[in-house]
Amino acid sequence: MAFFENTKTAIRTLLSRPATILYPVQPAKKTPLSRGHVTIDESRCISCGICQRKCPSQAISINKEAKIWQIDRLRCVVCNSCVDSCPVKCLFMDTQYSSPVTARSIEIINITYVKPPKPENKDEAAV
């Protein structure tokens, strides 16, 4: 006969603090690797379009002429593959989730990167 098998756990739970946290008063647990949402440093993006090609859910699109980088947050599956493949490392993974929305929308970000002018003479550049 086995009764009161759960007593040990019950007593321990009574004497310890709650296992849950008081969210949102206390922030949710996050680790440095946590995948929350993708952010971009628009001043460094060279509009190469690799993130758009690597995106498995086709959430990112980029317009080279208009210099626009846009993302549909509700399509994004936060897989980190754009961040891994960005050649200039201008994409980052934020640990916090993107904020809730009431309607579907596309976030549009204007790219402010300006290509540095090529030095006219190679010898001058060396000097």
Partner 1 sequence: MTKQIIVPFGPQHPVLPEPIHLDLVLEDERVVDAIPSIGYIHRGFEKLVEKREYTEYVYIAERTCGICSFVHGATFCQGIEQIMNIDIPERAQFLRVIWSEYSRLHSHLLWLGLFADSFGFENLFMNAWRIRERILDVMEQTTGGRVIQGSCKIGGVRKDISNEKLDEMRRDLDSIESEIKDLTSVFLQDDSIKHRLRNVGKLSKEDAYHLGAVGPTARGSGVAIDLRKTGYGAYGKLNFQLVTDSCGDCYGRCAVRAKELFTSIDFIRQSIQKIPDGPIDVKVTGAPNGEFFARAEQPRGELVHYLKGNGTKFLVRSRIRTPTLTNIPPLVRMLQGCELADVPVIVLSIDPCISCTER
Number of residues that bind partner 1 (CB under 8 A): 24
Q: Which of 23, 27, 29, 117 binds partner 1 (CB under 8 A)?
A: 29
Contact between 23 and partner 1 by CB under 8 A: the answer reads no
Specify whether the backbone of 108 is left (phi greater than 0), alpha (psi in -120 to 50) or beta: beta
Q: Is 6 in the site for partner 1 (CB under 8 A)?
A: yes
Site mask, partner 1, residues 85-114, x = CB under 8 A? --------x---------------------
Q: What is the DSSP string of 85-127?
A: H-TT--EEEESSPPPP-SS---EEEE----PPPPPS-HHHHH-
Query: Any idea of the CA torsion for 50, 83, 85, 119, to the nearest 10 degrees?
Result: 70
C-alpha–C-alpha distance, residues 56 and 81, integer Å: 8
User: At its nearest, how many Å lie between partner 1 and the CB of residue 69?
Assistant: 20
Which residue ranges make up the site for partner 1 (CB under 8 A)? 1-3, 5-6, 8-10, 19, 29, 31, 33-35, 54, 56-57, 77-81, 84, 93
